[in-house]
Amino acid sequence: EAHHGQLRKSGEPYIIHPLMTAELLLYLKPDLITIQSCILHDVIEDTPQTKEDIAARFGTDVAVICEGLSKLSTIRYRGEERSVESLRKMFIAMVEDLRVIIVKLADRLHNMQTLEFHPNKEKRERIALETLNVYAPIADRLGIFHMKEQLETECFRILYPKEYEKIKQERKELEEEQNFFLKEAKVIIGKVIPAEVPIIDISYRIKSPFSIYRKLSRKEYSYTHTKDLYDLFAIRIITNNIPRCYEILGILHNVFVPMPKRFKDYIALPKENGYQSLHTTVV
């Protein structure tokens, strides 16, 4: 009702945007209030309806989140590197309810996915840079890695279109091989780890396009192609406590030859966002 008659730059009815945005965050299993706030997230900003109108129909929580989202949209990235960290901090400080950030990230993701409808190339690049420097790091810090990767992929596509196409193609060519390898590896791991060591889950991931790009462009390595990377395929084994992590690592290093200098103990030395795990590369 509030967006009735409004159109997106793509020419679609405006309501498609908040609905698609809500769909993007459903995998996080948000509560009803988050979903409602997400569908209403542009109402205060872009329509005559007010916070009070939303409160009257959807309750105070939804209205407060919508107002928080409207306030956040006043923060702008102007391209100075040194302001990035303060921008991120300001972002977090302005938000009293974490659900505001979750909706904001999904909102930005959908805007990135539809950014080609933005007529101005410079503006598109400014928005992509802001997403890369402010939004993706916030998603990373919060541990919402899937959304971080999606945001980065969209930025990569807009900022470095040639490199994006190259890596996407190289990655696709390796995909069949990868899936075969990873399935095999999962079966073998299941066999070598004894039954008394509980494995909660074994999953695998293929390195994201932007992450591949970042690694290929690091000067200390001499990688030129996607297939040169050691960590293109990764297997994640989840067990039930920390000693078990080291135990599984020991078993794997006994069965497969570990590569020198490819081991990282993020349990003893967690990443900045609190991430903890053991990384190794084996032949």
Binding site for Mn ion (CB under 5 A): 42, 107
Compare residues 114 and 280 and give the one whose CB is closer to Mn ion: 114
Which residue among 42, 46, 220, 247 is the active-site one? 46
Q: Which two structure tokens, joined as six digits, stand for 79? A: 């391209």
C-alpha closest to that of 91 among 109, 78, 77, 106:
77
Cβ–Cβ under 8 Å, residues 204 and 186: yes
**Four-CA torsion 168, 170, 172, 175, nearest 10 degrees:** -130
Rounded alpha-carbon distances, angstroms, from residue 48 to 22, 27, 28, 61, 100: 22, 31, 31, 20, 21
Compare residues 103 and 136 and give the one whose CB is closer to Mn ion: 103
Q: What's the alpha-carbon Rg for the chain, to the nearest Å?
A: 22
Compare residues 103 and 158 and give the one whose CB is closer to Mn ion: 103
Least Å from the CB of residue 14 to Mn ion:
9
Least Å from the CB of residue 73 to Mn ion:
8
Q: How many angstroms separate the CA atoms of 261 and 180, rounded?
A: 27
Which parts of the chain are beta strand (E)? 201-206, 233-238, 264-265, 278-279
Compare residues 15 and 267 and give the one whose CB is closer to Mn ion: 15
Least Å from the CB of residue 114 to Mn ion:
10
Give the nearest residue (CB) to Mn ion: 107
170 is catalytic: no
Least Å from the CB of residue 110 to Mn ion:
7
Least Å from the CB of residue 192 to Mn ion:
49
Compare residues 46 and 265 and give the one whose CB is closer to Mn ion: 46
46 is catalytic: yes
Largest CA-CA distance found in the chain, in angstroms, rounded: 67
Task: Name residue 227's amino acid.
Answer: K
Three-class SS state of 206: strand
Residues with active-site annotation: 45-46
